[in-house]
Amino acid sequence: MTVFVVRTYVVQPNKLEAHNAWGKKLVALMKKQPQLFSGVKSMRVLSHKYGGKVGGFTAMWKFDSLADAEQWERGFVEVKAEADLRAEFLALIVPGSYSQCIWEPVRTINREPKKRSNRTR
């Protein structure tokens, strides 16, 4: 059963550039210490562009199971580099804007792309 750990937050308007730099540090940690992210199947960060809160972001971490997600979260407790990144992250966001939940897919629909006809207009 696939699950997603979904985190939403709003970055302080004057700290958007620092947030981009922070994101690069997270990616560097993922590359430097891939064993810390062994249960993660994918990660995607989305920026809120229309509606909602300007400066809002959603990060979606995909796992094969709830147990994998829980094990991953526990694994970071003692990692100093991650604790430093987390403290830096908290200084960038609007207080009270962070939330986390776990999503479980209910239905997936895969669409076949439409085939283009060979006819010309």
Whether the predicted pLDDT of 21 surpasses 60: yes
Say what the pLDDT of residue 54 is. Answer: 75
Q: What integer pLDDT is reported at residue 7 of this predicted model? A: 94
Residue type at 103? W
Whole-model pTM?
0.79
pLDDT tens digits along 47-89: 988 766 678 999 999 999 999 999 888 876 666 777 888 899 9
Q: What is the CATH class of 3-103?
A: alpha beta
Average pLDDT over residues 15-26: 94
Does position 120 have pLDDT exceeding 70, yes or no? no
Task: Say what the pLDDT of residue 112 is.
Answer: 84
The mean pLDDT of 35-53, rounded to a whole number, is: 86
What is the rounded distance in angstroms from the CA atom of residue 60 to the CA atom of residue 51? 19
Rounded CA separation 81/29 (Å): 8
Calpha distance 97→117 (Å, rounded)? 49
Q: Is the pLDDT of residue 121 over 60?
A: no
Maximum distance among all alpha carbons in the chain? 64
Helix (H, G, I), strand (E, B) or coil at 8: strand
Mean pLDDT computed over 33-57: 86
